[in-house]
Structure 1
Amino acid sequence: MCIVVINRLHVDALSNEQLWDALKQDDQGAFAELYQRLHATLYSYGYKVAANATLVEDAIQDLFVDVWRMRHSSSSANSVKFYLFRSLRRKLHLLSEKEHWSETPSAQVDITSVDNSAEQLMIGQEQESQLIQRLTYALAQLPQRQQEVVTLRFYQNFKTSEIAQIMGITEKSVRNTLQKALLNLREQAPYLAPLLGLLLFWLLA
């Protein structure tokens, strides 16, 4: 079997899917790069599902252990990010049941973990810092399920069909949850009404 060894000088140019194919051929460098590249994103999402830092870290570690252990039997992934998000959500629920940890109410969500760069793309440049702070706070007040759907759709750019698969719900439920989330945000943050109105129109179009 030919083992692909990634040149560290070119690793940044490789896609997640190329790294996945390399780790399937026993490339530890590709595995390490994939872990470093996606850990923060997985943690941010995982904390939306179960706001327990220890639980999220344990789930991520277990997930990557499984990835390496089952590398030879796993199939090629069309979207590594989608595969890992869906697997992490399942892992979190399994660990939650095993350890008898309950999910923290949405009001206690760590709002500092929100990806500000995604918010910047959504709200534009005018009074950016203040609007980001207000939007982040408003998002943290949403019910947990709505937070998760908003994160997957607008922060991680997953399609409705992919969100439905990740969360194990129907596409209709995803759209309804997104609609409720945007309506709640518009009520909580009237100063963001123009933006949220455009998002709602785009969502329902």
Structure 2
Amino acid sequence: MDDQAAFAELYQRFYAILYSYGYKVADNTALVEDAIQDLFVDIWRMRRSIALAQSVKFYLFRSLRRKIHHLDKQEQGLDFELTETSQSVSSDYSAEQALISQEQQSQLIDRLTQALAKLPQREQEVITLRFYQSFKNEEIAQIMGITEKSVRNTLHKALSHLREQAPYLAPLLGFLLWWLS
């Protein structure tokens, strides 16, 4: 496979997931699109000298986060928040039971999304990387430029805040976070 084909495949494979993550870091579509474009331009320019020690996904996420923060410093004044996530549910129940179940789950997800949006930006980012993108604590620490202990503490604080903000979700919180990932 030549460079152009490999680059096109990399772009097609990761653009959507990078955009989704980027939008959770910075709620500004233009900024995220610019950061992704800059990232892929840099990759193309340095394609012969890039040596990936970690996974490609890890490299792209860490690099995108840095690009977003760099562009954000240039623009200043961005508001950060998580975007809503919705998923459809398939079941073997009757159509009526499935609709009721889907509506209940949708309401729980909406409540969880609202609770997530109230978290500080750093806690939102840790939750996003851990549960939505399935990164390990060590990888999150490297992406965010903090210690692994800080990741654990931030994750613990975030989950505690979610339990406080939405006590009705406490029994389902673990399941919902797993289901959303």
Query: TM-score, length-normalised on structure 2?
Result: 0.81
Match in the other structure for 1:53: 29
**Counterpart of 2:139 in structure 1: which amino acid?**
E
Match in the other structure for 2:108: 131
Match in the other structure for 1:85: 61
Q: Which runs of 4+ in 1 moved over 6 A?
A: none
Q: Give the deviation of 1:80 after TM superposition.
A: 0.9
Q: Give the deviation of 1:32 after TM superposition.
A: 1.7
SS of equivalent residue, structure 1 residue 111: coil
Match in the other structure for 2:141: 164
Q: Give the deviation of 1:89 after TM superposition.
A: 0.9
Q: Give the deviation of 1:172 after TM superposition.
A: 0.8
SS of equivalent residue, structure 1 residue 41: helix
Query: Which whole-Å CA distance do the structure 2 matches of 1:92 and 1:111 have between them?
Result: 16
Match in the other structure for 2:40: 64
Task: Note the aligned Cα RMSD (angstroms).
Answer: 2.4
SS of equivalent residue, structure 1 residue 45: helix
8 Å Cα contact 1:48-1:144 kept in structure 2:
no
Query: Which whole-Å CA distance do the structure 2 matches of 1:155 and 1:64 have between them?
Result: 23
Query: TM-score, length-normalised on structure 1?
Result: 0.72
SS of equivalent residue, structure 1 residue 57: helix
Higher relative contact order (CA 8 A, sep 6+): 2
**Percent of aligned positions that are identical:** 70
Instruction: List gaps (5 residues or longer) in structure 1.
Output: 6-25, 200-205
Query: Which whole-Å CA distance do the structure 2 matches of 1:181 and 1:45 have between them?
Result: 18
Query: Which whole-Å CA distance do the structure 1 matches of 2:105 and 2:175 have between them?
Result: 18
Match in the other structure for 1:9: none
**Counterpart of 1:154 in structure 2: which amino acid?**
F
8 Å Cα contact 2:62-2:144 kept in structure 1:
yes
1:36 to 12, 16, 21: 12
Instruction: List gaps (5 residues or longer) in structure 2.
Output: 90-97, 177-181
List per-residue Cα deviations over 1:34-77 (Å, max 9, x = no partner): 21222121122112222221111100000001111111101145
Are 2:113 and 1:141 equivalent residues in the alignment?
A: no
Change (3 A) 1:197 1:63: closer
2:49 to 73, 80, 85: 73
8 Å Cα contact 2:23-2:83 kept in structure 1:
no
